[in-house]
Structure 1
Amino acid sequence: MAQDGDLRLHLQRALDGSRADVFRELTEPRELARWWGPDGFTVPSVESDLRPGGAYRIAMQPPEGELFYLVGEFIEVEPSERLSYTFRWEDPDPEDRETVVTLSLHDIDAARSELVLDQGDFATERRRALHEEGWSQGLGKLGELLASQLD
């Protein structure tokens, strides 16, 4: 059986755009809806009160299936540097539990940033792997969106 520390997700991505540009994509509801979620998913609505203690709610629509919601509260909001929030599904799977997501931004150079994501602890390896796939696909879409804004 895995130890809790083994049930964390850690991803790093180099992205085109300043830390301010990336932070805007991570936090502005209209921008977030353009890239959030696994491939094929759409985001019909994002509600967000971007401040420590403020809540958010993201509606996610899979290609096939029922609309579902991701909810949580912001823990840290440090523009262009760090964003941390709780992450839980409304009507969670029995293997789900609330996790904490921390996104940190670092300069690579004047036009590129590094995004570091940490999330956990997950209840099972299967749920951690599911989140890794979803984040990897979503961050891929974010990278494409930011790169397209350079043209």
Structure 2
Amino acid sequence: MVDLDAFGWRRFVVTHDGGLRLHMQRVLRAPRPVVFRALTEPQELAKWWGPDGFTTPSVESDLRPGGGYRIAMQPPEGDLFYLVGEFHEVDSPERLSYTFRWEDPDPEDRETVVTLSLRDAGGTSTELVLTQGDFATERRRALHEEGWTQSFDKLEQLVSLAASA
């Protein structure tokens, strides 16, 4: 299934070997180095990470293959929780791949792999392609789709401002 949301994301779910994956694409009005920095530098990542209403009090990152990261996420109401993982691939400004798991996972959660690919889309724009999977349930895949969509809306605003400065 392929559809476009209100922000121009092309979204579809692919079932592969019985697994659920998320695939999203978007063109951002900023060059690849600006987008890659926003995806990887802790101070920049903290500005856009998380669904609407969430804050990111801290980001720890050892940005290299085999290095780890830990992101603190604070919902509008509720307790602080953490996302952790390990970098598989760091190829600036083209590709970033890492594991994604919650420190205290929901019973329906399991570790997934996120891959972010950045392609030049005409000098001052970048096509960002996200894949993540495989999810244990459709409900968890849909939750991540909502979170990424809201996060990338904030990312688009951040990189557009940085590129125009």
Query: Which has the bigger relative contact order, CA under 8 A and spacing at least 6?
Result: 1
In structure 2, the partner of 1:13 is: 26
Q: How does 1:12-51 map to 2 (within 5 A)?
A: 12-51=25-64
Structure 1 unaligned residues grouped into runs of 5+: none
Q: 1:64 Cα shift?
A: 0.4
Displaced runs of 4 or more, over 6 A: none
Q: Which one of the candidate residues 128, 132, 135 is aligned to 1:115?
A: 128
TM-score by length of 2: 0.88
Structure 2 unaligned residues grouped into runs of 5+: 1-14
In structure 2, the partner of 1:66 is: 79
Mark the CA change 1:55 to 1:65 in structure 2 (over 3 Å): closer, same or farther: same
User: C-alpha root-mean-square deviation of aligned residues, in Å?
Assistant: 1.2
Q: Is the 8 A contact 2:96 2:116 kept in 1?
A: yes
Q: Which one of the candidate residues 138, 144, 154 is aligned to 1:125?
A: 138
In structure 2, the partner of 1:92 is: 105
Structure 1 distance, partners of 2:86, 2:44, is 19
TM-score by length of 1: 0.96
SS of residue in 1 equivalent to 2:57: strand
Q: How does 1:52-63 map to 2 (within 5 A)?
A: 52-63=65-76
Q: When the two structures are aligned, how many residues end up with a matched partner?
A: 150
Q: 1:5 Cα shift?
A: 5.1
1:50-77: CA deviation from partner (whole Å, max 9, x where unpaired): 0000000000000000000000000000
Q: Is the 8 A contact 1:4 1:122 kept in 2?
A: no
Structure 1 distance, partners of 2:73, 2:95, is 24
SS of residue in 2 equivalent to 1:76: strand
Structure 2 distance, partners of 1:89, 1:4, is 24
Give the fraction of aligned pairs with identical amino acids, expressed as a percent.
73
